[in-house]
Structure 1
Amino acid sequence: MSTSSRHASAHPPLAERLRPRALSEVIGQQHLLGDGMPLRIAFESGQPHSCILWGPPGVGKTTIARLMADAFDAQFITISAVLGGVKDIREAVEQAQAAASGLQAQRTIVFVDEVHRFNKSQQDAFLPHVESGLFTFIGATTENPSFEVNSALLSRAAVYVLQPLTEDDLRQLVGRAQALGAVPALEDAALQRLLAYADGDARRLLNTLETLSVAAGSAQLAQITDAWLLKVLGERMRRYDKGGEQFYDTISALHKSVRGSDPDASLYWLVRMLDGGADPRYIARRLVRMATEDIGLADPRALRLALDAAEVYERLGSPEGELALAECVVFLAVAPKSNAVYKAYNQVRALVKKDGTRPVPMHLRNAPTQLMKDLDYGRGYRYAHDEEGGYAAGETYLPEGLAGMRFYEPVERGLELRIAEKLRQLRDRDRDQGA
């Protein structure tokens, strides 16, 4: 835990030197900080309120919290949920009580970085003090607070969603760094590559700029070229949270693009995941799921191709095996779509879950012993292979009370066109038999 103070450092990092000291200096987040926007109104009201700042790394969560403390002349206490615990919360309470009871009563803002790392009991420890108004709670998180923050704490704090910085925002940051004389000139192509590398993260941009500046100084470069930048950065890796919300948003985009029969978008999201470091084996498993959920019997080859792609990746690994995943994604995207089996399965599962255990009809029971035969097990069963067309017209196979129910309804696409026609013919024969 730390209490904020603006001590000058002999060599402060570039990100700290460029950290905004006033609300007007903040780059980005104008949907929250612009005129008439929620956080701007909160600053201008003079009344701080507890809130949760939710957004990816490097978009200004800590900066906004610090500016709020400055605006309200409040003591600013920082707790890292990664390193801290209940002891740090207790110390923060004591400091807040001391500040409130002093000669010049001072407000306290307790800023919890990565609040999603605190467990339920740790989060609960804030509740009585937030309710009593002892301090204002500000939590910062990169994860969806709906899932990671206790509902009790969530109900006492406004949630503000921060967005990744745009390319224009990042260009402004580079301009400010150059105005300080902190970085040399950048070739246009080099600047564009650097902005892409930053991927909306101001901290990443500034830390990279600082590294490049030191390297450029050692190499006595007057200008950073694209070729030199590429050599220094090495293989570009995008920011990617393999277990967080961004991961699930991206796999969702891939699945929906396949379902929507867009091979180009499907390939894009596949490569985004691979480029970001997602496990190709996980992607392969999801492709198998797409083949069964969204294509099904409209083209049964999809499942086989998905399984083959998974096997090819296991044999070849990256990067060679990734092409098999790409081939599968394109095939799944352009294949005819049907969720008929998926819907039928879910309907039957819901029925079985709420229904009683219906006995198996006697004619469908196996009769391996004489006793079972004497009890009429299997009596009246019609062997379909002995019937015309290999179909026992009029026979029933569902339990008593469910006869005639339909779960699987094939769509009029792909192979299911033929399946639907066959089922219509069989049902016509059932009607002819009076079933």
Structure 2
Amino acid sequence: MPAHDFDLFVIGAGSGGVRAARVAAAHGARVAIAEEHRVGGTCVIRGCVPKKMMAYAAHLASDLFHSPTLGVDAEGLNLDWSALRSSLAREVSRLEAIYRANLERSEVKFLPGRASIVSPHEVKLASGEVYSASKILIAVGAWPIIPQIPGAELGITSNEIFSLARLPETLVVLGGGYIALEFASIFRALGSNVTLVNRSDTFLRSHDAEVVRRLLTSLSDKGVKIVAGATFEKITRIGADSLDVQLSNGDHISCSTVLHAAGRLPKTGDLGLAKAGIAVDTKGAICVDEVNRTSCETIFAIGDVTNRIQLTPVAIREGQAFADRCFGNGASAINYENVPSAVFTNPPLAAVGLTEEQAAAKFGPVTIYTSDFRPMKNVLLDVPERAFYKLVVHPGTDQVIGLHMLGPESPEILQAAAIAVNGGMKKADFDATMALHPSMAEELVLMK
């Protein structure tokens, strides 16, 4: 008889956990996975997918506003919030069903409920059932930060924003990261009056400062009011559909909805990590080594719960590598350099590699190439907004070590360009590539 109930027990059925479970099962392992919420995790249920649908709606609303310039009569078109909300819910349910079906086809046993660690080889479900496994993988992700202030419960987080009963007339967003900026941009385009509040003057701190400044200018031009150097002190209900937000600078803002979007922390609070001697850092993130092993030899962790890089593709790659290494024929090392990322604002921002500031700190003075241009679409629609691309180039080797883009379709262009940056291509290689005209992407090979 097997020594344990399972070869692998996965806690958390998000993108990383599901990938690890399915790959391990394909290698012949007996696998179980526990999930306290819906299958699919943050990305599918309350993150990337529904947010991208909202972003599509926001971009469409912006395009329709300018469509008469191209002879398209959009008069009379209005946003039906309930229809958008229903579409979001249907898509999330469709994807969740696919995730569940894939687990079933892979013969992974699904166990509903929150699981916690009992010992290096045991987990306990909220129902009280205890299971043993040769290896345990923690993939529970992260959870929105809610400020510890009076009235904080009157606000919502990105978890709840997709199911609002109505489009907010006035929205106040707390935060300076990508979640805060994305929702500020989306809801402004959909018709809400939006105020963005950040405790410091620094927004999107991991991105190139010059590009971020241009994005903030664009958001401000579109009507997003930006308040820097302040945070929430207190939230008070002043009517059936009205809230008062008191800021640390003494100002008050009246609004219908408050969105807490000041970041996410690993969801490790009730996992029983101490029972297996699992170390965490000051933010509650599980400490792991280069193969995602925790301080307990039989327990591993991947994805946002480690707070290494909070991106879905990273969690998926880590889940794949873990399963291949532990149950297959080994796995290649994961390269955490040159991980592409995007901020789905309007206009969107996309980047890969080092920022100008990071490169200068590492190599000294670097060579910068930029293109500040008006995309053809904006010219044709009579939109004054400009796009901005930046190449960061190593001064000694001519290698492109950073690429930063702000403008329409930047994330779609960036994915292909990231291959060139990751492959160590030089500025001369960009220059030697023929331009594709007319396109925005051609600016990548025309910078002098």
Q: Name the structure where helix makes up a greater proportion of residues.
A: 1
TM-score by shorter chain over 0.5: no
The higher radius of gyration belongs to: 1
Q: Smaller-chain TM-score range? A: under 0.3
TM-score, normalised by the number of residues in structure 2: 0.27
Greater strand percent: which structure? 2
Q: Whose RCO is larger (CA < 8 A, sep 6+)?
A: 2
**TM-score normalised to structure 1 length:** 0.28
